[in-house]
Structure formats: C-alpha cells, structure tokens
C-alpha cells in the first residue's frame, strides 16, 4: 500500500471511529443502533468496556448489552466536550485507532451531580472490500486512586495499611477532584451551601473558565492539556490561599467562594491577580488566559442563584474579549 493511500485509509478509520462514538453517545436511536451494527465486523467482534459487565466476546452478546445500555440512558442527553484520535497501521488490511473521549450529561435543569465519562479507548479495524469494520473495542476510565506520575496506586495501597488514617483519607478524597486536588463539583456546592446557611453576608462567588483551552489540546496534545489544567489549579489555589473554597466544576471550568466579606475593590483585586498570574504563565507555544465572573451574596440567595449570576458575568467577560473579569 502506498504512503498516500495508507494515510487516506487511516483517516477513513478515524472518521468511522468518530461516527461510532457519536452514534453511541448522541444518537441512542434505532437508526444509530443500525449504523453501529452495520459498522461491526460480523464474524469476529469483541468489546471490553468500563462496566463490570462489559466483557462481550462476540457480536450477539454486545448487541444485547447495547440495547440494555440504551434503555438505561433513556431520557439522558449527552454532549461531547472534547475528543482526540490517532491511527496506526497494524499490517495489511488492519489498523488501530486510539485516543480519548470526554462526555458529560447535558441536563434540562440544574443538577448537583452530572453523569460524566472521561475515557481512553483503542479500536481495531479490519478492511473488508472498500470500507473499514470495527473488530475490537477496549475503553477504560482512569483509576481515581492513582496519583499523577504513579504507574499503579501505590499511595492508596500504603494508606490501606493504616486503617484509621486510610478511612479519614477516603472521606477527604471523596470530596476532591482526582486530577487537581481541588474540591469536586458536588463537594464545592455542599461547602458553599453550608456557608450560605451560616449567613456568608458579603461573600463573593468567582466563576472561572480557561480561555481557548481546546486550542491547547489541539495544538500541544491532551497530555499537555492535562498539565495546563493542573498548573492552573495550582495558581488558583495560590491566589486564594486559605481564605476560600476552591473547586473544579468540570473540564476547564473552576469556581471559588470567599465566605468572609470582601469589598468590590478587594474582590476585583483577586480576579485581576488571577488573570495576570495565569497570563504570565504563557511560554510562547500557546497563549494562556482565563476569564472571571463575579457575584456578591444577596439575602436569601441559593447556590444556584450565585452560580448563575457569576456564570452570566463570566460570559460577559468572554464576549468582551476574554482575559478579564466582570460582575
């Protein structure tokens, strides 16, 4: 096979991989199911998934599981936040497509906990006539117990040897985002709700979003994108130090809540420092920036009142040029 034809075939395999994920995630319909079925290698298909039950050695077993999965997901709408694909030839008429897929539920109304999947996958395609067919799929999600730069969850294994200490660590870890160590969405909301119940008069809610983050992934790759997320979390924690609850709301979206009273000038100084500190982290390969939306606590406000007010202000910052803050 010539180099040009090989590239064309590999690009075809990537496009089929994208279409299959979209049919599974975005179109759990009979038509989507038919497309998936027609795209599988009928005589020798297998799948290993993230669920304990997802070990399908053949096509009939997989199609039965697919039907049950679609019934369970009925009424839930998903969106693909980001994806990444690479392809490699495996010999005559066979290739591998691997990458990542980040999917999150899109609720019709605010929810405390959203269904989210950040998976890594590998797909083996076999050529049949003038098209590719999927012969094997393996996808998995990262181990929440495994720290950055660990090749197996050594830390949590060591902690397990001290039962009392480990129990306390588990309670704490349940509140944390595994990548950044910040509060996860649910824990952050819970702490802010507790603060509001105490009064939190004069408190300030900061909604933060990285500007053009998809460009980082597309330009430098997803491992570099993960590093950017981690470095921003470190800057965010440093700017707010010990006087705030700081959380990762999902993806490249973060939030901070300062319970003690802040003047407008003090709150804006925090936002300005964050924007300037993060912009200064640019290293020439891609420009880094963030936008901030602020909202002050008003009487009888709920978490969602504050969240939506700050989110509205955040999008005003985005519309006005990014790399800035708004109320």
What's the pLDDT tens digit per position in 269-303? 999 999 999 999 887 777 889 999 999 998 888 99
Identify whether residues 14 and 125 lie together within a single domain: yes
Contact of 239 with 274, CB cutoff 8 Å: yes
Identify whether residues 82 and 200 lie together within a single domain: no
Identify whether residues 115 and 191 lie together within a single domain: no
Q: What is the mean pLDDT of residues 90-116?
A: 87
CB burial of residue 64 (10 Å; 0-12, 13-18, 19+): exposed
Measured distance CA(142)–CA(184) in Å, rounded: 16
Identify whether residues 131 and 187 lie together within a single domain: no
Asked, for residue 312, whether it belongs to a domain, the answer is yes
CB burial of residue 308 (10 Å; 0-12, 13-18, 19+): middle
Per the structure, the complete domain to which residue 80 belongs is given by: 3-140
DSSP output for 128-190: ETTEEEEEEEEEE---TTPPTT-SS-HHHHHHHTSHHHHHHHHHHHTTB-TTT-SB-HHHHHH
Identify whether residues 187 and 296 lie together within a single domain: yes
Asked, for residue 225, whether it belongs to a domain, the answer is yes
Measured distance CA(50)–CA(203) in Å, rounded: 41
Asked, for residue 164, whether it belongs to a domain, the answer is no
**Number of domains composing the chain:** 2
Identify whether residues 183 and 135 lie together within a single domain: no
Residue 267 parent element (H or E): helix 264-279
Of 243, 248, 239, 247, nearest in space to 200 by CA: 243
pLDDT given for residue 317 in this prediction = 96
Could you read off the pLDDT of 146-187 as tens digits, one per residue? 777 776 666 767 777 654 555 565 667 788 998 999 999 999
Asked, for residue 67, whether it belongs to a domain, the answer is yes
Asked, for residue 163, whether it belongs to a domain, the answer is no
**Given strand 325-326, what is the order of strands in its sheet?**
245-250, 253-258, 204-210, 290-296, 325-326
pLDDT given for residue 1 in this prediction = 56
pLDDT given for residue 207 in this prediction = 97
Identify whether residues 39 and 80 lie together within a single domain: yes
* Partners of 140 in beta bridges: 120
Identify whether residues 19 and 114 lie together within a single domain: yes
CATH number of the domain that residue 210 is part of: 3.30.70.270
CATH number of the domain that residue 50 is part of: 3.10.450.50
Identify whether residues 122 and 72 lie together within a single domain: yes
Asked, for residue 40, whether it belongs to a domain, the answer is yes
Measured distance CA(8)–CA(14) in Å, rounded: 10
pLDDT given for residue 2 in this prediction = 65
Measured distance CA(101)–CA(106) in Å, rounded: 16
Identify whether residues 318 and 187 lie together within a single domain: yes
Identify whether residues 254 and 111 lie together within a single domain: no
pLDDT for 99 beyond 80: yes
Asked, for residue 157, whether it belongs to a domain, the answer is no
Please count the other Cβ atoms lying within 10 Å of the Cβ belonging to residue 107.
12
- 3-state class (DSSP) for residue 22: helix
Of 66, 61, 112, nearest in space to 304 by CA: 112
Asked, for residue 315, whether it belongs to a domain, the answer is yes
Residue 104 parent element (H or E): strand 94-105
Could you read off the pLDDT of 244-271 as tens digits, one per residue? 999 999 899 999 999 999 999 999 999 9
């Amino acid at each position: 096979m010539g180099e040009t034809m090989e590239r064309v075939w590999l690009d075809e395999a990537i496009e089929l991989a994208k279409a299959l994920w979209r049919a599974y995630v975005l179109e759990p319909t009979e038509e989507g199911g038919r497309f998936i079925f027609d795209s599988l290698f009928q005589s020798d298909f297998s799948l290993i998934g993230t669920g304990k039950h997802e070990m399908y050695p053949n096509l009939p077993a997989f199609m039965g599981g697919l039907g049950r999965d679609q019934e369970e997901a009925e009424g839930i709408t998903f969106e693909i936040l980001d994806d990444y694909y690479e392809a490699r030839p495996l010999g005559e008429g066979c290739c591998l497509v691997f990458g990542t897929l980040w999917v999150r539920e899109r609720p019709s109304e605010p929810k405390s906990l959203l269904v989210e999947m950040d998976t890594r996958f590998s797909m083996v395609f076999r050529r049949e006539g003038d098209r590719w067919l999927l012969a094997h799929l393996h996808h998995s999600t990262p181990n929440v117990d495994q720290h950055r730069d660990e090749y197996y969850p050594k830390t949590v294994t060591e902690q397990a040897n001290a039962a009392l200490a480990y129990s306390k660590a588990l309670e704490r870890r349940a509140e944390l985002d595994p990548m950044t160590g910040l509060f996860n969405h649910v824990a952050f909301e819970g702490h802010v709700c507790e603060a509001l119940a105490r009064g939190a008069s004069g408190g300030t809610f900061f909604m933060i979003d990285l500007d053009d983050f998809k460009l980082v992934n597309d330009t430098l790759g997803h491992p570099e994108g993960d590093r950017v997320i981690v470095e921003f979390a470190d800057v965010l924690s440093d700017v707010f130090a010990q006087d705030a609850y700081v959380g990762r709301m999902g993806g490249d979206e973060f939030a901070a809540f300062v319970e003690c009273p802040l003047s407008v000038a003090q709150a804006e100084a925090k936002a300005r420092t964050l924007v300037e500190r993060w912009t200064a982290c640019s290293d020439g390969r891609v420009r880094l920036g963030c936008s901030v939306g602020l909202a002050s606590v008003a009487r009888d406000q709920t978490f969602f009142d504050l969240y939506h007010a700050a989110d509205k202000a955040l999008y005003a910052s985005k519309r006005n040029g990014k790399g800035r803050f708004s109320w």
